[in-house]
Structure 1
Amino acid sequence: MTNRLDAVVSSIVEGVRNALREHDVTFEEYRKGFKFMMDVAEAKELPLLMDLFLNTTIVEIQNRQAQGSPSDLEGPYFRSDVPLVTDKIKTMPEFGGTPLVLRGHVKDTDGNPVEGATIFVWSSTPDGKYSGFHDNIPVDYYRGKLLSGAGGAYSVESTVPVPYQIKNNGPTGALLEAMGRHSWRPAHVHYKIRKDGYKDLTTQAYFEGGEWVGDDCCEGKLTDDFVIAETVEDGKHVMDIDFVIERAA
């Protein structure tokens, strides 16, 4: 029987070895890389580094086998301990922000509405922070969970998020700079949809024409399915998305 762990690890190691051979990496460069990994561990940035370079690859593999809506990055800021909301997610007036309506339907792969699905929604503040992680912003702001209702419909109001930089003052940011890359993510809204008997769907939605869309430092936006054209109704921006979830095996 094939040892899957040995097969995967051996392939990863051989891939790294081939890169070292291809570029004639010197011992001094190797030691600098070794020290960099120690710095990443000391700065507690290993999850950031892994997500930055590898998360989208796992999502691509998952999407190849998916029958429902495409997945996207979850990112490091998901929280399950969020309030149940109905019509509006709590925001902070002092932060300002443009009202944003998130609405649509949840369906199964046969096109049938799925009622009672839990939809987790979270996004940045109007200045690019995340509640429950940054500046002591309480976890019940700029995030929540709602239930799909009759016909699988959902609707909730929040504010328009903004592009922001991932942590760039540590070794990961220094690596990006040395590589000649930037550390910006486009404005986006996160979704995670759960329903008993169905596979979880974790994805993101983006704003058509938004800065850094198509040039995400984390290589998000794997498809254009959830790049949404700007629509404004009664002074509120609208992100209208239907999600398709598939039954668990």
Structure 2
Amino acid sequence: MSAPTAPKPTAAGSGRSATERFARKERAGATVDQARVDTLATAALTALHQVIREHGVTYAEYDALKAWLIRVGEDGEWPLFLDVWVEHVVEEVANTDRQGTKGSIEGPYYIPGAPEFRTEATLPMRDDEKGTPFVFQGTVTDLDGSPVEDATVELWHADDDGYYSQFAPGIPEWNLRGTILTGPDGRFAFSTMKPAPYQIPTDGSCGALVAAAGWHPWRPAHLHLKVSAPGRAPITTQLYFEGGEWVENDVAQAVKPELILRPTPAASGTGEEVTYDFALDPAQ
């Protein structure tokens, strides 16, 4: 009798996993400021009313919107919708006053507690991990350029097929995820595999919106990072690759010029490498 076939990862499956994980997050201590809710809800509704008036929305279009909004909830895709089309503006506003490294969206695939290393690490990966070997290295500093010791640099990214560990079947738990603590010189170096572009899920309501509007569902290849240190403001960001597909028209609109990497052939002669430094603002 043959062994059962392992399920294949899919974009839709990854999206469902991300939604389910978000739904399980604890939100203890959350408070609601009534005046703030009034301000934001009124402004959002006023903006929507203006769209209806300006574009002459018909009852048929209004009914289609109602049906789609109901489907978003039934599909469990509100986190996906917000992460793709709204979060980049929230991030922009949240980091308006930041002087150091630019931030970007976190996205739905972050998992705390990745394996920890000091100064250098090869990310956990399969023996036959596909892709181009890639070294990502740099230094964590203050705004004045002084190195920061014991800064925490968390790195996670998709594999060569565009899937994340813990969000797709058949991938080891901590595959392509790791954390480095910097030494006295503030340096870190990750050895990994270069990630690939991937599609957001398209079999649900968000995919229906993409198709109806004639948009594309692709995110460019990118690295996710969180960098933090005592007494400094943490930064969450994504880094992209110059000349990569979809960099110029990322569906999530999260690419910034300051976040573009320009890899070169690795000194080892195998794969590519790049150096990118992080400057942390003081904690507020």
Residue 104 of structure 1 pairs with residue 125 of structure 2: no
Matched, 1:117 2:151: yes
Residue 35 in structure 1 maps to residue 67 in structure 2: yes
In 2, distance between residues paired with 1:6 and 1:49?
23
Give distance in 2, aligned partners of 1:116 and 1:229: 27
TM-score (norm. length: structure 2)? 0.84
1:82–1:139 CA contact under 8 A, matched in 2: no
Structure 2 residue corresponding to 1:82, chosen from 99, 102, 114: 114
Within a 5 Å distance, the mapping from 1:1-249 to structure 2 comes to 3-85=35-117, 86-221=120-255, 223-233=256-266, 234-249=269-284
CA contact (8 A) 2:130 2:159 kept: no
Does the aligned pair in 2 maintain the 1:95–1:127 contact within 8 Å? no
Q: Which amino acid aligns with 1:109?
A: L
Q: Residue 158 of structure 1 aligns to which amino acid in structure 2?
A: T
Residues 99 and 160 of structure 1 are in contact (CA less than 8 Å); yes or no, is this contact kept in structure 2? yes
C-alpha displacement at 1:237, in angstroms? 0.9
2: CA distance between counterparts of 1:90 and 1:166? 25
**TM-score when scaled to structure 1?**
0.95
Q: Which secondary structure state, in structure 1, belongs to the residue aligned with residue 38 of structure 2? A: helix
* Cα deviation, residue 60, structure 1: 1.6
Question: What percentage of residue pairs aligned between the two structures are identical?
Answer: 35
RMSD: 1.6
Q: Which moved more, 1:210-219 or 1:89-98?
A: 89-98
Count of residue correspondences: 248
Q: Write out the 4+ residue segments of structure 1 that deviate beyond 4 Å after TM superposition.
A: none
- Deviation per CA, 1:81-121: give whole Å up to 9, x if none: 21113420011233421111010000111211111011110
Cα displacement (A) at 1:215:
0.8
Unaligned runs of 5+ in 2: 1-33
Mark the runs of 5 or more structure 1 residues left unpaired by the alignment: none
